[in-house]
Amino acid sequence: MKITDIKPLPVWVGNRNQLVVKVETDEGIYGLGESGLSGRELAVIGALKHFREFLIGKDPRQIGRIWQELYRSQYFEGGRVLLAAQSAIDIALYDILGKSLGVPVYQLLGGKQRDSIPCFATASGHAEKLVEGVKLLMAHGWNVIRTAPMMPSSPGAFNRGGFINGSQIFEPRESIGITAKWLVKVREEVGSEVTLGIDYHHRLSVAETASFCQRMPKGTLDFLEEPIRDETPEAYEALRRMTDVPFAIGEEFASKWQFLPYIERDITQFARVDICNIGGFTEAMKVAGWAEAHYIDLMPHNPLGPVCTAATIHMAAAVANFAWLEVRTTQTENLYYGDKGINDADVLFPVQPRLVGNSFPVLDTPGLGIEIDESAATGQEWKYWEAPHWVRHDGSVQNW
Ligand SMILES: [Mg+2]
């Protein structure tokens, strides 16, 4: 079998682009993958063009060797753009291999260790709306719920502050007080049964995170996702000395080497591996094994499309150390619906994983078990979309 083409398929789902990648072969079998570098799809498409030139004619079943060649056969190794492209290709190659052998991808990863994949949902309302959102999710059977930071200046707006010169304002010291107050209320209202976390989207400093955690009684939070940026593992180690809330880190990591200090030094307690950024199945399974040795459970990042979800389900089925998969199509939000009010993912992906309650069943369809309506996909053009640019009251830059 030989690779005959690698096609980037940028599609618009909900309110932003998803970059799906199709790898074709001379035997008519194709595979689908997805890139996780939201907002920089054109850069990834450029990387894919480079890779396409030397991948055509290669045997798509030599997945591990192709991974090494994509990573190492260039002077400037690694990085988020190249690994996002490489991830999509690696996922597609597993899809091809599974289809060619007539087996689901999890079978190629050691077989399934579970029959369904438990998931977590997100509630991100402001103040009382947060309590309502958590209770709504619990009423629908969700028992692991993630929340989002608030700002006091814009009641009713999820995650947002006011505006300055067209940019949104986020002021960390204003956010941590109100967010901690309402998380304490949520815990009081829902009791100890539910697992509760928050994603601070790397918007805080070490000192701000410490203050945030110290404003809540022990047991309020079960996990704290990415309160600070991750370039410096030592900063997380400093933070660990100031709080005992478990950390969930790693959704932006693009290779096992970025995970290295976080696993080896036991900095993170949950691995937020993103299969569309880390380097596909090949790299994700190595991270999973390494994390298993440190009793760290995977809590995969999955804010993308159905291809990412399908791939992550297969990975999750085949590892021992698994906590919960992120889903963004629940009773409190649905990232697949955009301004037009239709489910774009349903139009594009006639076959895709479907939630049953708060988990995904592990299906035995060969490959990833996902199909794209290619005519619907190729009829679309990439649209300019930029992640929000946030500022503080003084006009300085603040992470989104
Ligand atoms: Mg996150």
Run means of pLDDT, 10 residues per run, the chain, 400 residues: 98 95 98 97 98 98 98 96 98 99 98 98 95 98 97 58 72 96 98 97 97 98 98 98 98 98 98 98 98 98 97 98 97 92 95 97 98 94 91 93
Q: How far is the CA of 199 from the centre of ligand 1 (A)?
A: 5
Q: How far is the CA of 379 from the centre of ligand 1 (A)?
A: 31
Q: How far is the CA of 54 from the centre of ligand 1 (A)?
A: 34
Q: How far is the CA of 187 from the centre of ligand 1 (A)?
A: 21
Q: How far is the CA of 184 from the centre of ligand 1 (A)?
A: 21
Q: How far is the CA of 303 from the centre of ligand 1 (A)?
A: 9
Q: How far is the CA of 162 from the centre of ligand 1 (A)?
A: 22
* C-alpha–C-alpha distance, residues 63 and 61, integer Å: 5
pLDDT of residue 156: 41
Q: How far is the CA of 185 from the centre of ligand 1 (A)?
A: 23
Q: How far is the CA of 119 from the centre of ligand 1 (A)?
A: 15
pLDDT of residue 340: 86
Q: How far is the CA of 55 from the centre of ligand 1 (A)?
A: 33
Q: How far is the CA of 400 from the centre of ligand 1 (A)?
A: 11
Q: How far is the CA of 326 from the centre of ligand 1 (A)?
A: 10
Please name every residue paired with 270 in a beta bridge, in sequence order, or none if there are none: 248, 297
* C-alpha–C-alpha distance, residues 379 and 335, integer Å: 21
pLDDT of residue 155: 47
At 338, the amino acid letter reads: G
Contact call for residues 370 and 377 (beta carbons, < 8 A): no
Q: pTM higher than 0.95 for the full model?
A: yes
Q: How far is the CA of 201 from the centre of ligand 1 (A)?
A: 5
At residue 281's C-alpha, the angle toward residues 120 and 148, to 5°, is 25
Dihedral (C-alpha) 309, 319, 41, 79: value to the nearest 10 degrees? 170
- State both tokens at 261: 């200090």
pLDDT of residue 44: 98
Please name every residue paired with 168 in a beta bridge, in sequence order, or none if there are none: 163, 390
pLDDT of residue 158: 43
Provide the residue ranges of all domains of the chain, joining segments of one domain with +. 3-104, 108-364
Buried b (16+ CB within 10 A) or exposed e, 337-351: beeeeebbbeebbee
Q: How far is the CA of 394 from the centre of ligand 1 (A)?
A: 26
Q: How far is the CA of 99 from the centre of ligand 1 (A)?
A: 32
Q: How far is the CA of 5 from the centre of ligand 1 (A)?
A: 33
pLDDT of residue 162: 63
In three-state secondary structure terms, 297 is strand
Q: How far is the CA of 73 from the centre of ligand 1 (A)?
A: 31
Q: How far is the CA of 226 from the centre of ligand 1 (A)?
A: 6
Q: Which CATH number fits domain 108-364: 3.40.50.1010, 3.20.20.120, 3.40.50.970, 3.10.450.50?
A: 3.20.20.120
Q: How far is the CA of 227 from the centre of ligand 1 (A)?
A: 9
pLDDT of residue 163: 65
- Measured in whole angstroms, how far is the alpha carbon of residue 359 from the centre of its chain? 16
* C-alpha–C-alpha distance, residues 204 and 186, integer Å: 22
CB atoms under 10 Å from CB of 238, counted, come to: 15
CATH 2.40.50.180 is the classification of domain 3-104: no
Q: How far is the CA of 277 from the centre of ligand 1 (A)?
A: 13
Q: How far is the CA of 60 from the centre of ligand 1 (A)?
A: 32
User: CB under 8 Å, gap of 24 or more: what pairs does 346-354 form?
Assistant: 347/373, 347/376, 348/11, 348/13, 348/305, 348/372, 348/373, 348/376, 348/377, 349/305, 349/306, 349/307, 349/373, 352/306, 352/309, 352/310, 353/306, 353/309, 353/310, 353/313
Q: Is 116 exposed, middle or buried (0-12, 13-18, 19+ CB in 10 A)?
A: middle
